[in-house]
Each structure stands twice: as C-alpha cells, then as structure tokens.
Structure 1
Amino acid sequence: MKHFIYFAGLVLLASSCISNKRITYLQNLSDSTAIALDEFIPFAEVDHKYILQPFDIVQIDFASADPELVEGFTFLNAPQNLGIRSSAGGGASGGSDPLYMTGFSIDQDGMVEIPKLGKIEIAGLTEADAKSRVQAAINEYFKEEVFVRLRIAGIRYTTLGEFNTVGVQIIYKNRATIFDALANSGETSLLAKKNKLFLIRQYDGGTKIHMINLNDRALLGSPWYFIQPNDILYLEPMKIRQIGTADNLTASLALIAGLLASLLLIVNLVSGDL
C-alpha cells in the first residue's frame, strides 16, 4: 500500500508539470528551418498591404491653408480632439473605442459616406489607393488645394480562450505583429497551448482558420507573423487545466501533496500497530 501511494504521487506530480518546451516562444523546432541567433529573417513573400473590407472603420482627415474649406468635412468631436493620436496601443475590452464614433465606417456595399462628397467606394483598395480616390473626389469639389489623409482607425482584433485579457482589442498602429497582439492582450496564461494558436481571418467572401505555433522560431518568416484588422485569436487550454487554473494550480498541488502525506502517515501508523 505504501509503495502504491508513492507511485501514485509521482505519477500525479509528473503529469502536473508543464515542460518549458511548451511555454517558451521562438524555439528552433525544425531542423529544416533552423534559425540561429543574429540570423537575418526576411518577411514571408506576401503582400502586407491591408485591403479595406466592408464594416472596417477608417480615419479620414482634411487639411487646407484655409480652415473654412474643411469645416464641413470634420466632426465636432474629431479624433484629434480626443487625445488618442499619440497612443501606440490599447485594449477596447472595456467598451472604449472613440474612433467607432468619430471614424468613417465602410458599409456592406463597400462605400464610405463623407459629408458633401457623398458615398465613395473604397472597399477592395489599399489605404493609399483609397486616399487617392477620396483626394480625387475632393479635388473636383474645390479649386483650392485640400490635403486628404486616410488610414485604418487602428487594428481591431479579438482574443478568446487562454489569454489574460479576452475580448475586442485595439492597437493604434497601421502594422502589428502577432507578438504585439499578445503583449497588448496581457500575454497568454500559463496553461495555453502555445503550439496551437488558431487565427481566424476574414477574406473576400469568406473566412479561413490558420494554426500558428508560437513556440517555433520559423513563425518570424511566416505569412501569419503580422495580424490584420478583424482577426480572431483563440488559444486552447492544456489538459492539465482539469486540475486547476494557472492561478490556483500550485494550491491544488499543495493540497494533493498534503493528502498524500496524510495517507502515508496513516499507513505508517497502521503498519506499526500491526
């Protein structure tokens, strides 16, 4: 009986341990794609220019030497008056998303409606091409020079599963990596399956699910290194979560160890009486 309890305790502790290989980022996991430290890693040969889609939000600013020319094109509570331009990142899980109220939303037909200019189709275009199209429209409206600036109103993405912060997040940049998204979401929990991050991405006419291995250094050169607006990131928990979460796992193991010690004491006392 004593040997059985010792063996059960060892098995339980062994099954409760999490290997560093399962939680360490950017390891060399594949000999064929081994990447040494200080080695230059080029980006994957894909076009990183984001294509605007219906339901995206864009920020459009107008500027002119004559301020009166652009008064009718801006909102009274324009983003520059909200003090968020200097922000490099931030979450929106608390419901604070000022650009949702002050930006220009692209409707389901791919059109954005601008005061005085009416509806302009910009879905399916890059930021630069969309800016040129709006610039051409305003050039027809005014003889004087009016400058247009158009950009994505932050990168919105959603985190689900084993993230320390779940919900809709925003990074106020025009380009962000998967690790920017992780850091902006408060990192992953200890029990997250970092080798199986599911990235759900919208494409023209549908959605695809991609699986990413955060443990593998080859990720730096993969097409999924950069996130895009409207991405959904989902992390599954390890099976060890059945014993406890990352916060109470130590307490759970301590309780189990205490119970095993009590059983051993009882066994020793019974053996001594016999």
Structure 2
Amino acid sequence: MRSLVLFSFVLLFASACISNKRIVYLQNLPGDEPIELDEFIPFAEYDKNYILQPFDVVDIDFASADEELTKAFEFQGSRNMRMGGMGMMGAGDMFFMTGYVIDVDGYVNLPRLGKIKISGLTEEQARIKVEEAIREYFKDDVYVRLRIGGIRFTALGEFNNSGTKVMLKHRATIFDAIALAGESNILAKKNKLFLIRQYDGGSKIHQINLNDRALLASPYYFIQNNDILYLEPMNIRQFGRADNLAASLGLIISVTSSIILIFALVGRNL
C-alpha cells in the first residue's frame, strides 16, 4: 500500500508541475535555426495595407480653407466629440460614436455625399475615393483623412482579461495584443495560440507558437483588425487552477490524504 501511495504522490506531483519550456516566450526551439540576442530579424512578407471590410469603423475627417465648408460634411458635433472624447470615454466607444460604420454591402453613408462603397479598398484608396466624390460637388479644395478607428480584436480562452479590445495604433504586434488582454496565465498552451483572421469573403484559422523565437519573422507577428485570439488551456486545468505552487501543493496533499484514508479504511475491513 505504501508503494501505491508513493506512486500516486509522484504522479500527482509530476502532473502539477509545468516545465518552463511550456511557458517561456520566444525560445530557440530544437529544429529551428537559432536566433541570437541582438541579431537583426527582418519582418516577414505580409499585406501591410489592411483591406477595409463590412462592419469596420472608419474615422473620416475633412480639412479646407473654408471652415464652414468642412462642417457641411460632418455629423453635428462629431469633431468636438473626437477632440474631447479621449478623456471622457473609452477609445472604442469614441470611434463607435464619431466614426462611420461600413455597412453589410460595403458602403459608408456620408453627409451631403450619400453612400460611397469603400470595402475591398485600402485606407489610402478609400481616402482618394471620398476626396474625389467631394470635388465633384465643390470647387474649393477639401482634403480628406480616412483611417481605421483603431485595431479591434477579441481575446478568448486563457487570458486574464479576455474580451474585445481596441488599440489606437496603425500597427500592433501579437504581444501588444497579449499584453492588453492581461497576458496569458500559466495554464495556457502557449504553443497553441489560434488566430482567426478575416479575409475577403471568409476566415482562416492559423496556429501560432508563442514559445518560438521564429515568431518574430512570421507573417502573423502583426495582428490585424477583427482578429480573434484563442488560447487553449493545458490538460492540468481539469485538476484545478494550479496557478501557483501553493495551490498545486494544496491539491496534491488533499488528493493524497484522500487516497491514504481510503486505503486505511479498506485495510481495516480486510
């Protein structure tokens, strides 16, 4: 019986311990060409120009020598709301209230100009298209600034602060997103981060290994608008949280004590 109890204790202890190799970011993994410290890592080829999609929120602003002319293209008070909204509300709420949502058919509805289709275009292409539409109606020069209202993504699974997030950046890395989502806890499978990315007409699921230093040269190192990040839990999750050593030891002692008590009761009855 002692041997069985000792074996059970060792088995539980082994299952509760998590190797550093499973939780440390950016390692030189076996089979990969090592990337040394201070070594230059060029970015992978990827589409740097985001393609606008239905339901994206875009911020469109106008500039002209004639202030009254630019006001004709804005919803009432939207410019003032943009200027003062940063300190009054969350960044995502600000752009949702003052930006323009691309509808399901790919159009934005602008004051005076009506509906203009901009989905399937880059930000610069969409800006030029809106600017050309304005100049068809007015002789004075009106300049347009069009940009995505921040990078919106969703973090699910083993994050400490999961949910939909917004970063006010034109470019953000996967680690920017992880930091904003509260980083992953110790029970996350860092070698299995699933990235669900939206493409023209559908989605694709990509698997990312956060333990691998080669990620820095991956086309998925930079996240895009509407990305979904999902981190799987380790199998140890079924035994309890085990977020720290005290929790792990408490779990081991509790289960081991139960096993000893059961064998003691069975031994008395034999």
**TM-score exceeds 0.5:** yes
Residue in structure 1 matching 2:199, options 190, 200, 203 = 203
Matched, 1:10 2:6: no
Match for residue 85 of structure 2 among 74, 83, 86:
83
Of 109, 115, 131, the match for 1:113: 109
State how far apart, in whole Å, the 2-side matches of 1:52 and 1:190 are: 36
Tell me the distance in 1 between the aligned counterparts of 2:242 and 2:72: 54
Given that 1:104 and 1:112 are in contact with CA atoms closer than 8 Å, whether structure 2 keeps it comes out as yes
The structure 2 residue matched to 1:165, chosen from 161, 168, 172, is 161
Report the 3-state secondary structure (helix = DSSP H, G, I; strand = E; otherwise coil) of the residue aligned with 1:116: coil
- Deviation of residue 7 (structure 1)? 2.1
Secondary structure of residue in 2 paired with 1:240: helix
Q: Distance between the aligned counterparts of 2:66 and 2:248, measured in 1?
A: 68
Aligned position for 2:139: 143
Task: Identify which range, 162-171 or 135-144, moves more after superposition.
Answer: 135-144
Structure 1 unaligned blocks of 5 or more: 269-274
Deviation at 1:66, TM superposition (A): 2.1
**2:28 and 2:34 in contact (8 A); partners too:** yes
**What do the CA deviations read for 1:26-57 (whole angstroms, capped 9, x no partner)?**
11114343211111111112222101111111
Partner of 1:271: none
Letter of the 1:213 partner, please give it: N
Q: Which amino acid aligns with 1:190?
A: I
Distance in 1 separating the partners of 2:83 and 2:69: 19
Aligned structure 1 segments of 4 or more residues deviating by more than 4 angstroms? 246-249, 261-268
> 2:55 is aligned with what amino acid?
F
TM-score scaled by length of structure 1 = 0.87
What is the SS of the residue equivalent to 1:73? coil
For the residue of structure 1 that corresponds to 2:246, the secondary structure is: helix
> Which residue identity does 1:81 align to in structure 2?
M
Q: Is the 8 A contact 2:153 2:227 kept in 1?
A: yes
Aligned length: 262
CA displacement 1:142-168 (0-9 Å, x = unmatched): 222222110000111111111111111
After superposition, the C-alpha distances for 1:65-105 in whole angstroms (9 at most, x for unaligned) are 221111122231445234329x9xx7x8xxx6221121111
For normalisation by structure 2, the TM-score amounts to: 0.88
Cα distance in 2 between the residues matched to 1:255 and 1:120: 61
Q: Does 1:70 align with 2:70?
A: yes
User: How many percent identity over aligned positions?
Assistant: 62
Question: In the superposition, relative to structure 1, how do residues 246 and 80 fare at CA in structure 2: closer, same or farther (>3 Å)?
Answer: farther
Supply the RMSD in Å over aligned alpha carbons: 2.6
